[in-house]
């Protein structure tokens, strides 16, 4: 996968993330003709570019490619297209992991040669959009080579050479931390499907809840200008997946492992507070830690 250009590079605690252009999307995960990138904002003018993340851990290196797309096909047509085209490229569908509903679908594939997993969430967006939104994760784990000092080799001209990420071999048995994160999303999603049926799609973290955002915009139209109302609404709904996890945990704490709770709480604290702070500031409300300095917090509301 060669990149024509990189839009943005972000350093993470365990690696680096790249924002890439649409034309640099991986060829091993094809996209239907006429596919384009998803955007948000009043006129969907703020484009969400694909992200390619690399993380380096003591035992392995991971790369995760994610993207959000839209295509002017029905949900049924889009699902059929992916099933046919992914099969042509050697992907094997995992039928026990997928589901298809009238307005929402989840597809999961495994590539037996590269041991790569691809997960897709698809959502039909009715009028005025009339398209299918597609969110894709492609997850690969590369077994970590021995330390560079031990693997240093000599080239023909006597120069010392070192392994690169291309030298890593696939690990067919290991489950990446991102796969565990996806499993947690599925668990939360299953809980809300039990409670709310098809409406649970509004809580799926990678499917942006456009209708809810638009409803908030309309409700605030008399108090704020259009751009501010749109931005405020975005900040209130973009962490829908984090909100879903917290509500699911409040309802059914016994259904989550300590590892899942730690992961979900961490994701919530990293993501949600920033959005809520931005929304409060846009709405003209003061933001501050009113609990700072408290010696204790009550165990329950009075």
Average pLDDT (16-37) is: 91
Contacts of 87 (CB under 8 A, 6+ apart): 93
Q: Determine, yes or no, domain membership for 31.
A: yes
Cα three-residue angle 189-121-171, rounded to 5 degrees: 95
pLDDT tens digit sequence for 244-268: 999 999 999 999 999 899 989 988 9
Average pLDDT (182-208) is: 80
User: Domain tally for the chain?
Assistant: 2
Q: Which of 77-81, 192-196, 284-288 has the highest mean pLDDT?
A: 77-81
**Do both 169 and 195 map to the same domain?**
no
**Do both 41 and 133 map to the same domain?**
yes
If DSSP states are collapsed to H, E and C, what string results for the chain? CCCCCEEEEEECCCEEEEEECHHHCCCCCCCCCCCEECEECCCCCEECCCEEEEEECCCEEEEEEEEEEEECCCHHHHHHHHHHHHHHCCCEECHHHCEECCCEEEEEEEECCCCEEEEEEEEEECCCCCEEEEEEEEEEEEECCCCHHHHCEECCCCCEECCCHHHCCECCCCCCHHHHHHHHHHHHHHHHHHHHHHHHHHHCCCCCCHHHHHHHHHHHCCCCCHHHHHHHHHHHHCCHHHHHHHHHHHHCHHHCCHHHHHHHHHHHHHHHHHHHHHHHHHCCCCCCCCCCCCCCCCCCCC
Instruction: Return the pLDDT at 106.
Output: 84
Average pLDDT (231-247) is: 92
**Do both 31 and 148 map to the same domain?**
yes
**Whether the predicted model's global pTM rises above the 0.75 cut:** no
Average pLDDT (21-27) is: 91
Instruction: Return the pLDDT at 39.
Output: 78
Please say whether the beta carbons of 61 and 12 come within 8 A. no
Among the residue ranges 187-191, 254-258, 293-297, the one predicted with the least confidence is: 293-297
Structural domain for 220, as ranges = 191-282
Average pLDDT (30-58) is: 81
Q: Determine, yes or no, domain membership for 267.
A: yes
Among the residue ranges 4-8, 205-209, 210-214, the one predicted with the least confidence is: 4-8
Instruction: Return the pLDDT at 141.
Output: 81
Give the pair of three-digit tokens for residue 103: 């307005």
**Do both 160 and 106 map to the same domain?**
yes
Among the residue ranges 30-39, 42-51, 124-133, the one predicted with the least confidence is: 42-51
**Do both 106 and 205 map to the same domain?**
no
Q: Determine, yes or no, domain membership for 302.
A: no
pLDDT tens digit sequence for 73-126: 999 999 999 999 999 999 999 876 667 778 888 888 999 888 899 988 888 888
**Do both 28 and 136 map to the same domain?**
yes
Strand partners, 135: 68, 121
**Do both 12 and 129 map to the same domain?**
yes
């Amino acid at each position: 996968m060669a990149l024509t250009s990189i839009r943005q590079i972000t350093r993470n605690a365990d690696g680096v993330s790249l924002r890439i252009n649409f034309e640099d999307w991986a060829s091993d995960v094809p996209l239907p003709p006429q596919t384009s990138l998803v955007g948000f904002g009043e006129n969907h003018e703020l484009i969400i570019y694909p992200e390619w993340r690399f993380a380096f851990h003591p035992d392995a290196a991971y790369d995760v490619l994610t993207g959000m797309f839209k295509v002017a096909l029905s949900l049924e047509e889009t699902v059929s297209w992916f099933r046919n085209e992914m099969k042509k490229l050697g992907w094997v569908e995992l039928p026990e992991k997928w589901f298809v509903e009238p307005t929402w679908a989840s597809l999961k594939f495994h590539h037996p040669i590269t041991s790569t997993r691809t997960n897709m969430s698809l959502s039909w967006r009715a009028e005025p959009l009339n398209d299918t939104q597609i969110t894709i994760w492609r997850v690969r784990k590369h077994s970590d080579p021995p330390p560079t000092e031990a693997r240093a080799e000599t080239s023909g001209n006597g120069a010392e050479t070192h392994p690169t990420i291309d030298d890593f071999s696939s690990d067919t048995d290991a489950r990446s931390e991102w796969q565990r994160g996806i499993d947690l999303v599925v668990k939360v999603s299953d809980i809300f499907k039990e409670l709310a049926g098809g409406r649970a799609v509004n809580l799926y973290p990678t499917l942006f809840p456009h209708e809810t955002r638009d409803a908030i915009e309309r409700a605030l139209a008399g108090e704020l200008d259009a751009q501010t109302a749109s931005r405020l609404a975005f900040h209130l709904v973009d962490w829908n997946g984090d909100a879903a996890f917290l509500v699911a945990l409040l309802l059914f704490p016994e259904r989550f492992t300590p590892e899942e709770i730690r992961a979900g709480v961490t994701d919530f604290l990293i993501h949600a507070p920033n959005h809520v702070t931005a929304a409060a500031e846009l709405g003209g409300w003061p933001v501050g830690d009113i609990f700072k300095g408290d010696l204790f917090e009550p165990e329950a509301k009075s």
